Amino acid sequence: MVFSSIEKVQDNLKAHRYIADRSLATVIYLAVSLGKPLLLEGEAGVGKTDVAKVMSAALDTRLIRLQCYEGLDVNTALYEWNYPKQVLRIRLEEGAQRSKEDLGNIIFSEDYLIRRPLLEALQSDQDQPPVLLIDEIDRSDEEFEAFLLEILSDFQITIPEIGTIRAKHRPYVVLTSNRTRELHDALKRRCLYHWIDYPTFEKEYQILVAKVPQVREVLARQICGFMQVVRKMDFYKKPGIAETLDWASALIVLHKDELDGDVVQETLGCIFKYREDISKMEAEIMGKKIDLEKVLEDYLARHFG
């Protein structure tokens, strides 16, 4: 079942507790309908990886994930030969009268292949193509990016010992980048592109209520209002939605129904993950440079009168 409209995408994702604005739903709809890879960029924690996860759930298909990192090479991403198994086979064949060529054909056959995510995605033989998540591509090296470009152009690979393997169905491809470096134009050209921004107050409120349903309305509003204020300030690493959800869960465990300066200070570790950011926020609260209660009051008054 493929999405029949943009609204269906939105509804379907929402049923899987993902809140997508119209622009994101549109680009997902187009990516699925046109069979084009979808490139999602944005700061950490804005919901990029989750798009691939909920897409696979909504499309009722498998999620295959390739996590990128510095030094990721083609073997780890595509396939490797099962060397211990090959050696074992050679041992077992000792004394048998098999020609070298025959033995070669045996140990370089599919039985001795270890499929890594990209090959698995190309070879998947389910009815519905899998979702292939290529996560944090900006962390991989440029050579790897060039190799990916090839895969995303042809959806086929050649294994010298076996031959060419072509995808029966093109997987739904989602690439994410935290933009620690710029990606190549050639790769971008292959993809539909969408920038996921930090959420608006309203969007984050919806996400919070969907993900942490125990949260009371007043607390949820205060948390989301606070996050809006914090993200306008200058920090080394601004909190994403993951931090909002963690913080809300922590406040619930601590039986807090409302925010106050003390509890914010005690739980800053849920929001910030760098010592410098925590110190800075502490100083702001203690020095009353930011008067928390006032900030929240003003914010909520402005938004909800």
Q: Which does 46 bind (CB under 5 to 8 A by kind): ligand ADP, Mg ion, none?
A: ligand ADP
Residue numbers at the binding site for ligand ADP (CB under 6 A): 17-19, 42, 44-50, 176, 207, 211, 240-242, 245
Q: Which does 296 bind (CB under 5 to 8 A by kind): ligand ADP, Mg ion, none?
A: none
Task: Choose among 21, 25, 15: nearest CA to 57.
Answer: 15
Given the structure tokens 């292949």, which residue do they identify? 113
Task: Choose among 15, 114, 117: nearest CA to 62.
Answer: 117
* Comparison of 9 and 241: residue with beta carbon closer to ligand ADP: 241
CB of 67 to ligand ADP, least distance (A): 11
Q: Does 177 bind Mg ion (CB under 5 A)?
A: no
Maximum separation of any 2 CA atoms in the chain, in Å: 88
* Comparison of 49 and 56: residue with beta carbon closer to Mg ion: 49
CB of 182 to ligand ADP, least distance (A): 18
Q: For residue 155, give both structure tokens.
A: 């959806």
Q: How many CB atoms lie within 10 A of CB 38?
A: 24
Q: What is the DSSP letter of 62?
A: -
* Cα angle: 82, vertex 87, 93; to 5 degrees: 125
Q: Which residue is nearest to ligand ADP (CB)?
A: 47
CB of 23 to ligand ADP, least distance (A): 12
CB of 91 to Mg ion, least distance (A): 44
Q: Which does 45 bind (CB under 5 to 8 A by kind): ligand ADP, Mg ion, none?
A: ligand ADP
Q: Which does 171 bind (CB under 5 to 8 A by kind): Mg ion, ligand ADP, none?
A: none
Contact 16, 22 (CB under 8 A): no
Q: What is the DSSP letter of 198?
A: P
Residues 21-80 that bind Mg ion (CB under 5 A): 49
Q: What is the DSSP letter of 182?
A: P
CB of 12 to ligand ADP, least distance (A): 13
User: For residues 239 and 281, what is the distance between their CA atoms, to the nearest angstrom?
Assistant: 12
* Comparison of 49 and 222: residue with beta carbon closer to Mg ion: 49
Report the DSSP pairing between strands 172-177 and 131-135: parallel
Q: For residue 25, give both structure tokens.
A: 């739903």
CB of 49 to Mg ion, least distance (A): 3
Residues making contact with Mg ion (CB under 5 A): 49
